[in-house]
Structure 1
Amino acid sequence: MTLLMHLSDVSEREWADAFQKAMPNLKIVTRQDKYEREEIKYLYVWKPEADAFDGLDNLEVIFSLGAGVDGIVKHPKLPKDVPVVRFVDDELTQCMTDYVVANVGMHHRQLTRYSREQNQRNWDQYYPERASTINVGIMGLGQLGKDAAEKLNFLGYNVAGWSRSPKAIAGIEEFSGTAEFDLFLARTDILVCLLPLTPETHDILCMETFKKLRCGHLPGGPCIVNAARGGHQNEHDIAAALQDGTLGAASLDVFKTEPLLADSPLWALDNCYITPHIAAISGLKAGVRLVTSQITQYEASGDLKHIVDVSRGY
């Protein structure tokens, strides 16, 4: 049995060496090594290319290097009967929560306003409201969204979540389904996107959505934070909303085209905070630990954890 590394934009050799050390009895190969396609039992994949699944007739499990699996489940040649396992790890979750908490706090404490005041050398002692007056809305209540919601709730924010179905998270007001989406938006000052990317959530961060957010509570207007996928956002609408006052500020870690194109209007907006897709990463040690434990369990009992529902896309 063989584990194949198919990792675009990532060092396959570094990962293969780490896996080989952790599982000396398992053959580990990269795409540059010599191997037969039919010997591959396990595939570790990130950004699968067009031929990723060609000839893998004996493939039994697909492991995703990242928490997001849209690139895998949308692949036209994805084998129908092979389980896809997503990356779930406490370190990645903590990093994502760090990003969300930092950016929610930044918008709550009016960084845009004070940056402008500093540039103008203007001493204006406006005092931001306490956290308990700020309504944060998190779209997506999976592993990442749940943790971020709980931590923000602990810090005193009024936190609500919106997801496809109810999750019953203690202390979090919940909305679910399309019927409750507008109600969720109407109570939200700072909107956080941690959704999986599906046809239903594509371009969900758009002008129509922004205009339904709670207005008048944050001095500069409602804010958004997107650390999920670039496909969630209509970047033209975001730029327009940041310029016309529909939004007070935005934190964007992901974009439809990465790196973000040099001519994007978002670069020049002082109320748009851009980071280069660094909110959270699947670490080498965590990834090896997770996949090693999964393969060990699968070989012993046939069981797997964190299997993706391909029909739903997450």
Structure 2
Amino acid sequence: MTDTLVFYSGPDPFEPWRAALAPLLGDDVRIENSDAVTDPETVRFALVWMPPEGFFDRFPNLELVINLGAGVDRLVARNDLPDLPITRLSDPEMGKMMASFALFAVLRHAREIPHFEAAQARREWAYRHPKAAGDISVAVLGLGELGALAATEIARQGFDTHGWATRPKDLPGVTVHCGDEALPHLLAQSDIVVCMLPLTPATRARIGASAFAAMRPGAAFVNLSRGEVVDEDALVGALRSGHLSGATLDVFAAEPLVPEHPLWTLPGVLITPHLASVALPKSAAPQIVANIRAVQNGEELVNTVSRVRGY
């Protein structure tokens, strides 16, 4: 009997993933879109991003769930998730994409682009002298796989780069701070704060009123992790008061962001629709296939997810 890999992703089309996976899987694993599965009992593998409630109940012989991305918080929080191994993508191209977007966001604030955009709207020649990168302090909160790559890329451009993590790490050009007690001081000395924290019970609304109050007056905030990590009301308050000079935001507590949300119209805020980094079929396919082969051959999986930690 041929095994089946079932695919479900709201935003991602099926065909590019099938085209990337099929040459590597050959004839012994059928690849089917979730709405076209012909024999649910042959499904041993599921490649998914936010499938609907009850999705997994259809496949009684499922042995592996592959999350179509690096962030797994929404998947592990589900009540209908079967007690099976879960893996996430660890794609170097995703890492590069995230690092480049983080650098873009840092440069946007370091070079005061919101000031020039506002001046352009007024047709005003409003010169501001640039600062050297080494005179600008950037804090990256969360040094997981993507956060570490982002911090390293920011440091490579010469910024005074700091990171905040749960345990010590050695990253080139990055001064790493650890523990809750280190966070207020780090926020106070940073010109730009980049949030890369995973969403876990410990980080939900972790960046709230006290964190924003601790930030240096005029600092900028960047969120590329999960919207629920940030107290959005507190962020709006910090922006409205002028305590923060601006923000670059790719993720939100509720997506898409509703048209009446105040973040749309606050000065200095750039909103992008959760696209800082996405899974790319061609570069992600080999690791997906490697884990499928591991299940078939009884071997150890890579990039497994801990349901206890939430990542």
TM-score normalized by structure 1?
0.91
Say if 2:8 and 2:48, in contact at 8 Å, map to a contact too: yes
User: In the aligned structure 1, how far is the partner of 2:49 from the partner of 2:123?
Assistant: 47
Give the Å deviation of 1:297. Answer: 4.0
Among candidates 66, 77, 81, match of residue 80 of structure 2:
77
Structure 1 residues 301 and 171: CA distance shift in structure 2, 3 A: farther
| Structure 1 match to 2:248 | 251
What letter is aligned with 1:251?
T
| Structure 1 match to 2:178 | 176
User: In the aligned structure 2, how far is the partner of 1:127 from the partner of 1:142?
Assistant: 35
Secondary structure of the structure 2 residue equivalent to 1:192:
strand
Among candidates 54, 57, 61, match of residue 58 of structure 1:
61
| Structure 2 match to 1:289 | 286
Give the Å deviation of 1:28. Answer: 2.0
Say if 1:138 and 1:194, in contact at 8 Å, map to a contact too: yes
Task: Mark the runs of 5 or more structure 2 residues left unpaired by the alignment.
Answer: none
User: In the aligned structure 1, how far is the partner of 2:271 from the partner of 2:249?
Assistant: 5
Say if 1:65 and 1:287, in contact at 8 Å, map to a contact too: no
Secondary structure of the structure 1 residue equivalent to 2:57:
coil
User: In the aligned structure 1, how far is the partner of 2:92 from the partner of 2:142?
Assistant: 17
Among candidates 137, 142, 147, match of residue 145 of structure 1:
147
Among candidates 217, 229, 232, match of residue 229 of structure 2:
232
Residues 67-124 of structure 1 show CA distances to partners (whole Å, capped at 9, x for unaligned) of 11111110112223x2211111111111111111011011011112222333334334
| Structure 2 match to 1:26 | 29
| Structure 2 match to 1:157 | 159
What letter is aligned with 1:29?
E
User: In the aligned structure 2, how far is the partner of 1:247 from the partner of 1:8?
Assistant: 35
User: In the aligned structure 1, how far is the partner of 2:33 from the partner of 2:64?
Assistant: 16
User: In the aligned structure 1, how far is the partner of 2:171 from the partner of 2:131?
Assistant: 26
Say if 1:213 and 1:222, in contact at 8 Å, map to a contact too: yes
Residues 28-86 of structure 1 show CA distances to partners (whole Å, capped at 9, x for unaligned) of 22222244444321111100221122154432221111111111110112223x22111
Structure 1 residues 91 and 114: CA distance shift in structure 2, 3 A: same
Tell me if 1:274 matches 2:277: no
Tell me if 1:265 matches 2:262: yes
Secondary structure of the structure 1 residue equivalent to 2:147:
helix
Give the Å deviation of 1:234. Answer: 2.3
User: In the aligned structure 1, how far is the partner of 2:17 from the partner of 2:270?
Assistant: 32
Among candidates 87, 105, 120, match of residue 89 of structure 2:
87
Among candidates 288, 294, 301, match of residue 304 of structure 1:
301
Give the Å deviation of 1:298. Answer: 4.1
Say if 1:96 and 1:144, in contact at 8 Å, map to a contact too: yes
Following superposition of structure 1 onto structure 2, how do residues 123-134 of structure 1 map, counting pairs within 5 Å?
Answer: 123-134=125-136
Say if 1:6 and 1:52, in contact at 8 Å, map to a contact too: no
Say if 1:92 and 1:281, in contact at 8 Å, map to a contact too: yes
Secondary structure of the structure 2 residue equivalent to 1:58:
coil
| Structure 1 match to 2:207 | 205
Secondary structure of the structure 2 residue equivalent to 1:146:
helix
Structure 1 residues 303 and 190: CA distance shift in structure 2, 3 A: same
Give the Å deviation of 1:14. Answer: 4.5
Give the Å deviation of 1:23. Answer: 1.4
User: In the aligned structure 2, how far is the partner of 1:118 from the partner of 1:6?
Assistant: 44
User: In the aligned structure 2, how far is the partner of 1:306 from the partner of 1:246?
Assistant: 40
What letter is aligned with 1:233?
V
User: In the aligned structure 2, how far is the partner of 1:30 from the partner of 1:96?
Assistant: 28
Residues 258-289 of structure 1 show CA distances to partners (whole Å, capped at 9, x for unaligned) of 22111111111231001111211101212323
What's the % identity of the aligned pairs? 32
Say if 1:48 and 1:71, in contact at 8 Å, map to a contact too: no
Task: Mark the runs of 5 or more structure 1 residues left unpaired by the alignment.
Answer: 216-220
| Structure 2 match to 1:8 | 10
Say if 2:6 and 2:37, in contact at 8 Å, map to a contact too: no
User: In the aligned structure 1, how far is the partner of 2:189 from the partner of 2:55?
Assistant: 44
| Structure 2 match to 1:218 | none
Structure 1 residues 43 and 34: CA distance shift in structure 2, 3 A: closer
Say if 2:137 and 2:160, in contact at 8 Å, map to a contact too: yes
Give the Å deviation of 1:296. Answer: 2.7
Secondary structure of the structure 1 residue equivalent to 2:288:
helix
Secondary structure of the structure 2 residue equivalent to 1:32:
helix
